[in-house]
Structure 1
Amino acid sequence: MGGGGDKVPGQYMGWWGSLGSLPQKGITSYSLSPNRQKPLAGTAHAAVFNSFRRFRQSVLYVVPPFIVGYMLMDWATKRNEFLNSKEGRALYHETE
């Protein structure tokens, strides 16, 4: 509370530095936005959970074709080894 001037005694005049008067001219104040102060704030936390979410959404598009491809390659390798073995050649009567 303060008094003086054309103010009524006991009337609130404002916080320190602006005691009810007009703002001062020629005073410039600067501030930084929060993303300028900490540009990588929360990046690691968001990366972990965002990566898990993206993995969970795309796992059904990637894993089944990979499993089918692996099983096909495994079958083809075993079949090739059998056909090039002594038993395979004897079974299919291939002569040179």
Structure 2
Amino acid sequence: MLSRRLIPVNAPMWTLPDHPASAIPRKKQAMKGIPVELLSESSPSRDAALRAYSALRASGVIDPRAFEAAVTVLRHHHPETQPWHARHILAGWLAPDA
């Protein structure tokens, strides 16, 4: 049976439930096919994805669409990354303390 996780009404739409990949240390993630530069703080793909998200939100685009657009930008730079993993990585960049 699938368990449902309640998300508060005021929580951002890009908050993702815990995924098994979140338990994998970053170095092991890189060995699982994720480029090391994708996990870097100064990655050009990270900058492009965050810039896309910020610009869309500033122009009034709703959160889920801005988030998916940023995922598309990230996957453009790293097509080998699975969509769910790109979402997980981007969510971590947007809310690093969550």
Hey, which of these two has a bigger chunk of strand by percent?
1
TM-score by length of 1: 0.23
Higher Rg of the two aligned structures? 1
